[in-house]
Chains A and B, each alone.
Chain A
């Protein structure tokens, strides 16, 4: 009879099911980065002059920066000259076309990933933008959304069709000077999603982008920009997977959100990039800058993330609370197993009066996983009556993993209310034995305990995805009981 410990270990070692590779002819440029590469990407996309200039400024700035070393993660130095900065499936280079023209291989790929792009097969009420390596290959339900004045398209298309909006908002939340990876992204980003919700419109369906890295040695640098005008509402979801490869691949995205008066954006992520093998070979380096700006009064930005993949995760979805009474939320589940490392959390910057923020972070470490919560709550001088509640819980499965917490709090206004709660627990033999003595298998016991632990976060996800996220957590934990 194997012990609970042995069984917990078995459960953690589940294979990655999205590790296949699609054989499509790609239009890739040689690896390496210099000014000509930035110009080439811009030229391939036939971009307006302002954008090329912006990219070049970002590139020049990037050259002055060095890789941040403060995160609590450990990896060999990245060779930025060894990365391919642009790769597109052939014939898809100039942006998405109608679905009939999309390469059947690509449609098949997304189908295999559980994201059929044929509209009639899609989950009712979810519009998808599919990004494959460097470009968006399809966007569904565009016409239906268009009737409401909602723009949902690839970033490249937005640059062509809605360049005034891009010029106005690009870099307005995450300037290219923000950090090393944001500067790199600003110089070489190739595509992403754009969405604009006009005044007073409640988006009737979930908008989602599905990111797939396919080509070898390719970095994925996409940008997402969402603008919610006065009184509008939108819920947006992104998902991500990649083939299993022995080399590490870089994913450095930037997401910018803007809400005007009374507007709300709910942004959910289910991140399942390839995490690398048992020895930590391969896997995606996920270095992402996500930030929202509550520009208007009474506006709200809510981030929910379920991070189960990537060899390294470095991301801090943040909210800048400028408008009075605005609300920022961050709900996170980060699971690290095998040799995965995650350093993730949020920044809530309170500027406006009576601004509120709510942070709930659940970190789960199994195998040799290392999980760090890093958060900053900053209450500015003028942020009278600001409130923050932070809850930060860690769960350890087995005895080879680690959980770390770095909460920073800066308060410059004495009327602020701050609450911080933190806990660390171990899936104990007691809990396991209790569940098993009621007839549940070790695997079911772990997934039940973990999903109970994450419940507060999972319930923030749109219904269909909450089920998916729950399933993903238990699949990821198969083999990790201990």
Chain B
């Protein structure tokens, strides 16, 4: 589904990604872990089409197409979804209005009819129940006045409504309490199927206890330096990253500083 080859990216003149290779097949869940500043969020944003980065080398194909050639809205219409690390507020625009416009834009691009107001309401109710969201969040302006946790839950709610092929989740777990984390993970697990893939960017093993990944990649200084299964995440939780980044030094930390 997604092939990233030798992706090199600069931001403000600085090299952030230095040749990332990643291959994601339908049905898989890939987790990207790594220390602060290793380029995890940059990778997520570049895949979604953020234009403040300069792509200096490499290629990305998504379902056989050159992803980097597509505008962000076209990527979304083809089924790429980014759950933001910092969801953005849009004052005065209701959450439902926004989501319906979004769903219809995607449906239109697929040659489908716009969803009727009644059907949309039904869909929204169903997904809200899944994520145990407070009904008031849906009529409030997009992310405005939402708590950190509500914002993150709203991202997963949008994802559940839009049903993307490739969902990229950028630190969706940070800012969530344990109960909210379980609910969000449950929302994601319900969406897992053989046609859909996930890239889950996280700092913590905690989320991966609930969303069990097929692959765990460690990104460090702009390169993937280790790939393993979910066992790797547990090892990182125990030993930190330094044993990977500094050769075999035996420094043991309890994970990355919060």
The interface of chain A, by Cβ under 8 A from chain B, is 1-4, 428-431, 433-442, 444, 448-449, 451-456
Contacts and interface: CB of A to CB of B under 8 A. Distances in A.
B76 interface: yes
A1 B102 contact: no
Contact of A441 (B70, B73, B84, B92): B73
Contacts of A441: 73, 105
A183 to B, nearest CB: 40
Contacts of B98: 435, 438, 448
The 5 A-B pairs of least Cβ separation, nearest first, read A452-B92, A452-B93, A455-B92, A439-B76, A438-B102
A438 B90 contact: no
B181 interface: no
B238 interface: no
Contacts of B106: 439
Q: How large is the interface on B (under 10, 10 to 19, 20 to 34, 35 or more residues)?
A: 20 to 34
B19 to A, nearest CB: 22
Contacts, number: 85
A434 B141 contact: no
Given A436-B72, A436-B76, A438-B162, A4 B93 contact: no
B76 A437 contact: yes
A438 B93 contact: no
Given A3-B51, A437-B49, A440-B105, A449 B76 contact: no
Interface in B37-66: 48-52
A431 B72 CA distance: 13
A434 B88 CA distance: 7
B235 interface: no
Contacts of A452: 90-93, 141
Contacts of A449: 90, 93
B71 interface: yes
Contacts of B105: 438-441, 444
A434 B84 contact: yes
Q: Which among B69, B84, B91, B162 has the greatest number of chain A C-beta atoms within 10 A?
A: B91
Contacts of A444: 101, 105
A438 B83 CA distance: 10
Nearest to B88: A434
Nearest to B106: A439
Contacts of B77: 439
B232 to A, nearest CB: 29
Contacts of B69: 1
Given A1-B70, A4-B51, A434-B87, A440 B92 contact: no
A3 B72 CA distance: 10
Interface in B60-119: 69-73, 75-77, 81-82, 84, 86-88, 90-93, 98-99, 101-103, 105-106, 109
Contacts of B220: none
Given A437-B75, A437-B81, A452-B91, 14 more contacts: A1-B69, A1-B70, A1-B71, A429-B51, A437-B72, A437-B76, A438-B98, A439-B77, A440-B73, A441-B105, A451-B93, A452-B93, A453-B92, A455-B92
B101 A451 contact: no
Given A430-B88, A434-B84, A442 B73 contact: yes
B158 interface: yes
Contacts of A4: 51
Given A440-B102, A449-B93, A1 B73 contact: no
Interface string B12-50: 000000000000000000000000000000000000111
